[in-house]
């Protein structure tokens, strides 16, 4: 297909694949690592990094902790990777925190490519890999210190490795063990979603095919035991140290939180109606490429892809309800299935660019390239318009003049190339066209989007450094109640936490300088103190239906242990001022 000789499907018969891998590597590194340190750590990134810091500080790599207390969000694989990167760099910084995610996105992109070449042409495999790497949501969070990138690599690889082994007649002892082992690592990255999102698709696929022999085989049991062994190597020491209650929390706290609003029927109905559109939008612009799969001709003519298509689409279908019916779920929870859908985008592209296509499908590829060219010109025009006449909220979108020039040059060059290729669908021309689209998308994110975020970001590290140097100095700092992870991470020293109830009973536990944040009314400070100042840490959105709120940490000086309170007006620390 795609005018690509059949011999090219034998990937290692020549070295042409090296060019594809080189282009994919440059594209991913340019998008995800080119400006890795431009934005400060934000959102939950400092939480992941702080857990890694405490692992390095304490030497306890079994139990995730924050301020010495048990942290129940998820198992610690992501924190281990950050800690390893931090140990190699001499400390956990922005690069160490984000590097595992960047490597995971690169590896996922290459896994998609090499896996796809076993079923599709090299050009279609290249399309699939670029599609994943430049999906909107993947670019948005794939470079951050969140767990999604690593989890996506492990879960998608578990499904692809299992299906490759199954479809190619490899020993079931191998593909069951490999699949379950990768699913176990996915579980150690993000909890029960890993085994559920591996087990449900493979079992559903085997039931669909009525392959009882493979489903109820000894190899399947051995694969399951490999999962138990890998997870148990961490779980048993954790259980012995933290106890059953914390063991339950580390696996199920995050998952159960997604169902808190399920009894709010108006919210649930809204979620049911909008969530599929949100996921479709998060895979843009490539999600449009799935449309040819809805045609009868695809399923009638591409019998050779029927098994691949059934497995990938069935995997998406059986896992989607777990977040579709969870009113508090967000689209990134479906990101581990994006690689499988990216492969289907490659398959759809291969089908639509076949010279034998007739009807509207014959115009699909030309329309795609013309539309992409128009969009590229439109992006360039929008950036220039904002630069020349900013007004209102558009002031935040202004870009540096040098970037405006570069962006326009890339967009216009890409548009010209796409228009010149829109009537041709040979393999090399498809690779060139998709590379141009990927470059425009990548530059839009790494340039325009990141510059916009830089314009409004808060330098929490600088704010905390000012507070540490001017308010606290070398004095030990304690906290009454937990502090925001942003403050704890950037403070760069251990901050013991005293529970408010313990502080009320034993005020002497609280040091001369202490910090508080977000105490409940019944948790008032029970002794005499004065407020030294407040430190602005972040602006965050707490849930979908809340407004932006400032995160402020109050630093106080303890005056005595007597049960009276004295406070002066705080001075907000903001390094931008």
Q: From the centroid of its chain, how far is CA 538?
A: 20
pLDDT at residue 522 tops 70: no
Residue where the block lists tokens 């704890």? 488
74: nearest Cα among 221, 191, 217: 191
pLDDT at residue 219 tops 90: yes
Q: Could you tell me the maximum CA-CA distance found in the chain, to the nearest angstrom?
A: 87
Q: In the 3-class helix/strand/coil scheme, how is 35-65 assigned residue by residue?
A: CCCCCCCCCCHHHHHHHHHHHHHHCCCCCCE
Residue 574 host element (H or E): none
Strands 529-541 and 548-558: antiparallel
Query: What pLDDT does 107 receive?
Result: 98
Distance CA 465, CA 143 (A): 25
Residues paired with residue 540 on neighbouring β-strands, in sequence order: 549
Q: Which DSSP string corresponds to 131-158?
A: HHHT-HHHHHHTTSSSSHHHHHHHHHHH
Q: From the centroid of its chain, how far is CA 516?
A: 31
pLDDT higher for 85 or 1?
Answer: 85
- In this structure, of 12-16, 540-544, 554-558, the range with the lowest mean pLDDT score is 540-544
Distance CA 293, CA 308 (A): 12
Q: 3-class SS at 552?
A: strand
Q: Which two tokens stand for residue 270?
A: 């809204």
Which range of 262-271, 473-482, 545-554 scores highest in mean pLDDT? It is: 473-482
Query: Which residues have a Cβ under 8 Å from the Cβ of 195 and sit 6 or more positions away?
Result: 183, 184, 186, 187, 227
Q: How many beta carbons lie within 10 A of that of residue 55, not counting itself?
A: 24
pLDDT band at 570 (very low <50, low <70, confident <90, very high): very low
pLDDT higher for 291 or 1?
Answer: 291
Distance CA 193, CA 134 (A): 24
Dihedral over Cα of 362, 368, 370, 371: its sign: positive
Q: 3-class SS at 260?
A: coil
Domain extent listing, the chain: 6-355, 374-424+426-456, 460-573
Q: Which two tokens stand for residue 173?
A: 């002892």
Q: 3-class SS at 2?
A: coil
Query: What pLDDT does 424 receive?
Result: 72
pLDDT band at 13 (very low <50, low <70, confident <90, very high): low
Distance CA 78, CA 74 (A): 9
Radius of gyration in angstroms for the set of CA atoms belonging to the chain, rounded to a whole number: 26
pLDDT band at 30 (very low <50, low <70, confident <90, very high): very high
Distance CA 47, CA 51 (A): 6
| DSSP assignment letter at 66 | E
162: nearest Cα among 126, 186, 189, 127: 186
pLDDT band at 234 (very low <50, low <70, confident <90, very high): very high
pLDDT at residue 542 tops 50: no
pTM: 0.91
Cis peptide before 285 (omega within 30 of 0): yes
| DSSP assignment letter at 520 | -
Distance in Å from the first CA to the final CA of the chain? 60
Q: CB-side exposure of 569: number of CA atoms within 13 Å?
A: 0
pLDDT higher for 374 or 301?
Answer: 374
Query: What pLDDT does 456 receive?
Result: 80
Residues paired with residue 535 on neighbouring β-strands, in sequence order: 553, 573
How high is the mean pLDDT of the chain? 87
Which range of 41-45, 203-207, 323-327 scores highest in mean pLDDT? It is: 203-207
8 Å CB contact between 158 and 186: yes
């Amino acid at each position: 297909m795609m005018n690509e000789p059949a011999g090219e499907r034998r990937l290692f018969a020549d070295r042409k694949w090296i060019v594809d891998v080189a282009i994919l590597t440059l594209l991913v590194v340019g998008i995800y690592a080119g400006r890795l340190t431009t934005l400060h750590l934000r959102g939950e990134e400092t939480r992941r990094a702080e857990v890694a810091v405490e692992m390095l500080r304490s030497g306890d790599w079994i139990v995730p902790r924050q301020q010495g207390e048990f942290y129940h969000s998820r198992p610690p694989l992501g924190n281990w990777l950050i800690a390893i990167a931090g140990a190699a760099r001499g400390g956990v910084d922005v690069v160490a925190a984000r590097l595992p995610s960047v490597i995971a996105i690169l590896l996922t992109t290459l896994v998609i490519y090499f896996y796809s070449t076993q079923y599709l042409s090299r050009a279609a495999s290249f399309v699939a890999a670029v599609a994943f790497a430049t999906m909107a949501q993947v670019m948005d969070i794939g470079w951050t210190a969140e767990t999604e990138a690593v989890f996506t690599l492990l879960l998608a690889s578990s499904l692809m490795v299992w299906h490759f082994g199954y479809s190619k007649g490899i020993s079931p002892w191998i593909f069951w063990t490999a699949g379950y082992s990768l699913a176990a690592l996915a579980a150690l990255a993000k909890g029960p979603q890993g085994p559920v999102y591996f087990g449900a698709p493979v079992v559903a696929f085997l039931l669909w095919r009525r392959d009882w022999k493979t489903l109820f085989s000894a190899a399947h049991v051995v694969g399951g035991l490999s999962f138990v062994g890998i997870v148990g190597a961490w779980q048993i020491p954790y259980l012995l140290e933290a106890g059953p209650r914390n063991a339950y929390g580390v696996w199920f706290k995050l998952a159960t939180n997604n169902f808190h609003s399920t009894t709010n029927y108006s919210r649930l109905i809204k979620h049911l109606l909008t969530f599929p559109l949100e996921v479709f939008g998060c895979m843009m612009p490539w999600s449009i490429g799935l449309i040819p799969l809805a045609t009868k001709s695809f399923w009638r003519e591409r019998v050779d892809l029927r098994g691949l298509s059934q497995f990938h689409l069935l995997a998406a279908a059986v896992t989607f309800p777990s977040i579709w019916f969870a009113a508090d779920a967000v689209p990134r929870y479906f990101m581990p299935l994006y690689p499988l859908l990216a492969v289907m985008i490659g398959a759809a592209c291969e089908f639509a660019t076949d010279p034998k296509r007739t009807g509207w499908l014959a115009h699909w590829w030309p329309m795609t390239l013309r539309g992409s060219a128009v969009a590229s010109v439109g992006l360039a025009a929008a950036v220039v318009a904002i630069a020349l006449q900013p007004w209102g909220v558009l002031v935040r979108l202004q870009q540096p003049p040098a970037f405006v020039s570069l962006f326009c040059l890339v967009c216009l060059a890409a548009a010209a190339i796409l228009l010149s290729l829109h009537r041709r669908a040979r393999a090399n021309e498809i690779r060139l066209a998709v590379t141009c689209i990927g470059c425009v998308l990548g530059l839009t994110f790494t340039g325009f989007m990141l510059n916009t975020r830089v314009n409004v970001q808060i330098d929490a590290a600088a704010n905390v450094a000012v507070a540490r140097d001017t308010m606290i100095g070398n004095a030990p700092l304690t906290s009454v109640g937990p502090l925001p992870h942003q403050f704890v991470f950037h403070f760069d020293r251990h901050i013991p936490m005293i529970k408010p109830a313990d502080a009320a009973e034993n005020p002497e536990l609280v040091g001369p300088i202490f910090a508080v944040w977000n105490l409940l009314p019944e948790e008032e400070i029970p002794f005499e103190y004065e407020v030294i100042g407040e430190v602005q840490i972040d602006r965050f959105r707490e849930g979908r239906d809340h407004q932006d709120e400032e995160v402020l940490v109050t630093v106080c000086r303890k005056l005595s242990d007597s049960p009276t309170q004295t406070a002066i007006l705080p001075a907000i620390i903001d390094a931008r001022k």
